[in-house]
Chain A
Amino acid sequence: MSKTDVLIIGGGLIGCATALHLARAGASVRLVEAGDINAGASGQNAGSLHFQMERRFLENGAALADQAARIIALNRLAIDEWRGLEVDLGVDLHVSQKGGLMVAETPEQVALLEAKSRREISGGLATQLLDGDAARALCPALGPDVLAASYLADEGHADPRALTPAFAHAAAEAGAVISTRQHVLSITRRSPGGFDVAAKKGDEMETLQADQIFVAAGAWTPAVCALANLHIPLFPVALLMNATERTGPILPQLIQHVGRRLSMKQAYAGNVIIGGGWPSRLAQRPDGGFDLNARASIIPLSRSGNLRAAIDIVPQIGALNLIRSWTGVTTISADQLPIAGAVSRVPGFYVAAGGSAFTLGPTFARLIARVMGGERVEALDVLSPDRFNHLNSFMG
């Protein structure tokens, strides 16, 4: 029997970072992870630090773009968060904030860049519009088809392999107890407050008692929340990423595309990582629905399309060897914004998941820890799970 102030379910970036902040604030913290630390999207994503508004928010109409613009305030917090992270954790996270270029190849895309930039500037994000030659002056590897780019000096990339283990290590140092390969089987509310959680590691059963529960289980979040009889409307998404062999420095910046699915960066070791939101195919359960525990499969058209986009923007990529393609599974909500905060239907129950959580995860964790400590944090309002409260009218 373990009894703590907080039980965190999920050993990814957000779970481990939140464990650190709560433990530092003096709470007793237990974290359980069904697999290994950093095994999910936290360790499998492409490591972009992207603060410009994403293509996906711009291509579905003005209303959605307006709503997405509200996340800019969080992006500004995240920029500062990343600047201090390596010092705070005392670990080399291979953070590189040498700027990011979101490129356009057609006049329509240039117009989209201009509209995007206006929104960002009014939100306090200092993006700069560059013509093709100015963009090439910054990043000579860009090809002749780049007509324009919006530049944000704070963007870049970091090492997803290093960040979450660093948080986990620091959390443990601060007193959090972390167990891996332990599965949560049930979540029961206690009267007047708190929770009993049954968990299993190997053949060993354990009851974990906690005043607060925080679920940060990525794509598995809805399933974990279902144990508490709650709907968390997140949908799994399988995304393709590709890595080339190592090569000499060719890309100092993060490269994204405003009109095509593309993100590209050169990781510290020299490999070029190519992604940008191309779908892989989730495995399916024989009885219908997706099987998150089976490997997603690559869609050949995604792969060829992603690599085409990469070559169109940085032609010399074509000559490099591809050494690995893989799929990470993240989630998306109905309005595309992540879900992070208290579930007011069940007092003491908190959740954070829903994508963008490499760039924003450290910030989510810092803010969630404050919310769980009883503070009101306005910056998180836009992400509150309570915007889907109606789904839980008959649940809890």
Chain B
Amino acid sequence: MAEHFDLAIVGGGPAGQAAAIALQGLDLSIAVIDEQAQPGGQILRQPPAQFAVRLWLPGRAYDRLKAQTEHFGRLDRVSWLGRHTVIEIARDGAHFALLTENALGVRAITADRVLIAAGCQDLAVPLAGWTLPGVYTAGAIQAFVKSQQYVPGERIVLAGTHPLQLLIAAQIVAAGGTVAEVLFAQPISAMFRAVLTKPLVGLRGSGNMLAAAAALRILRRAGVPVSFGSALQRIEGESRVTHVILASGRRIACDTVGLNYGFVPQSLLPRMMGAKVRPAGAAGGFAAVHDEWMRSSLPGLYVAGETTGVAGAPASQAEGELAGVGIGLDAGWIDMAEAGRQTRRARSRHRHLQAFARLLDTVANPLPWFPVPEDDTIICRCEDVDYATLAAQSGGGSANAVKLITRCGMGPCQGRNCEPSLLRMLDDRGLTSDPGFTQRFPARPIPVSELADPG
């Protein structure tokens, strides 16, 4: 018999936590499901309990989130299902049936309402050499550093268009690592121009601006060069990365590369369920569509945080708060006047943060700066489908049609990594509104025996 909850929240990051906190004091059973062992999401990736990490995530930007995580940990009636992966969410009569998996096997849960706050993931960017050992997304390197103070490499190059790589570089330096160089593909003038068109918005996002400035100071002190207008062209090496080559022809020796061209929403679960999504922006991916109370297009299903578009942790917190109150409102636990009162501040915060997020999107816009893959560059890593094969196929037909012909997106990751690359190729050919791959069960690979009838 499946365990039943009034509400299931997928994701224990800033948004999921904020939703649970917004509902505190009401007599509700809430399950919060997360792939990580401990709450906090990617932004607060916690070290394992048995690790003592000195000065874990110092800095004001993290303090608010740490406080929220602490608050979240004190909530009654919240069941924390850490290390659980959601395999499926399906409508089952009046409620939702969730299938989750952990080390012990499959666990079925039912819930009257579901909030998906699954965060975002690094955009995978194919270029020559990107499948060599030693190439990571910058976010993956950051996750190592945050959770275990582990720096995966001796000499790291960060490359891309997203300003976050400044922070990541500073964190690597603080953890004792060596950053060879931070490369921005776009010229600095393009970044300034974007900020100057919206100076007020830039000012409101001053927390982020200050964090970037602080990171730049750390990098300067450590002698880490930061270059602009320096587009990555190839990554080279035999059995591992030994250097990168820029479009200018310049060569930088390194054993590790972190790519940082942006982030895409984790919207696989809403898409599997048939909730409405929209193209998320220049970096690609799809964002779940919602109304002012974070209701998705499906009754009973709510979405919040970066599943609805990448806008940073504070915006996710605000959306989580709105979702929590919205859920309370719909269930009749909170009345409209109270709901309005409770969310006034979150709403105004959200508006400002969204404006800043749009500005950041312009500053970080990767579209003009993506490296051009070579013919034999692998685009779909699960199925080894290269660029030339896709280029020959993507002249007509949908992403699903190309998938069927080439196997691109048919592997264990279900297209999570290659879908944005393929959609950009279709886009270049004028097929601009492709809905992407049909998202199939299971959300993560799972042993056949765990799904089979016990017999």
Contact = CB atoms under 8 A, between A and B. Distances in A.
Contact of B447 (A269, A319, A324): A319
Interface stretch (A76-84, A98-106, A308-316): A308-316
B451 A322 contact: yes
A247 B269 CA distance: 27
B410 interface: yes
B449 A161 contact: no
Nearest to B273: A297
A307 B440 contact: no
A39 B445 contact: no
Given A295-B438, A298-B90, A324-B440, A244 B448 contact: yes
Contact of B452 (A39, A180, A269, A308): A308
A218 interface: no
Contacts of A300: 90, 97, 99
Instruction: Sort chain A's interface into a size bin.
Output: 35 or more
**B interface, over-half SS:** loop
Contacts of A319: 447-449
22 contacts: A36-B398, A36-B401, A38-B404, A161-B405, A161-B407, A180-B397, A269-B383, A298-B90, A298-B441, A307-B449, A308-B453, A310-B448, A311-B452, A311-B455, A318-B448, A318-B449, A319-B448, A320-B448, A323-B412, A323-B442, A323-B445, A326-B438
B411 A323 contact: yes
A245 interface: yes
B448 to A, nearest CB: 5
Contact of B400 (A36, A245, A298, A308): A36
B344 to A, nearest CB: 37
B453 A245 contact: no
B445 A321 contact: yes
A323 B410 CA distance: 9
Contacts of B225: none
Contacts of B411: 323
A293 interface: no
Contacts of B454: 308
A165 B405 contact: yes
A371 to B, nearest CB: 30
A172 B224 CA distance: 59
Contacts of B397: 36-37, 180
B446 interface: yes
Interface residues of B, number: 31
A188 interface: no
Interface string B426-455: 000000000000101110011111011111
Interface string B374-406: 000000000100000000000011101100110
Interface string A14-49: 000000000000000000000011110001000000
Contacts of B407: 161, 269
A300 B401 CA distance: 27
- The winner among B383, B447, B454, B455 for most chain A CB atoms within 10 A is B447
Contacts of A320: 447-448
B446 A305 contact: no
B410 A324 contact: yes
B274 interface: yes
Contacts of B447: 318-322
Nearest to A326: B440
The 6 closest A-B pairs by CB, nearest first: A318-B449, A307-B452, A308-B453, A321-B445, A304-B453, A36-B401
B401 A38 contact: yes
- The winner among B274, B404, B448 for most chain A CB atoms within 10 A is B448
Nearest to B441: A325
A303 interface: yes
Contacts of B442: 322-325
B414 A323 contact: yes
A8 interface: no
B441 A324 contact: yes
A307 B446 CA distance: 12
Contacts of A297: 90
B90 A311 contact: no
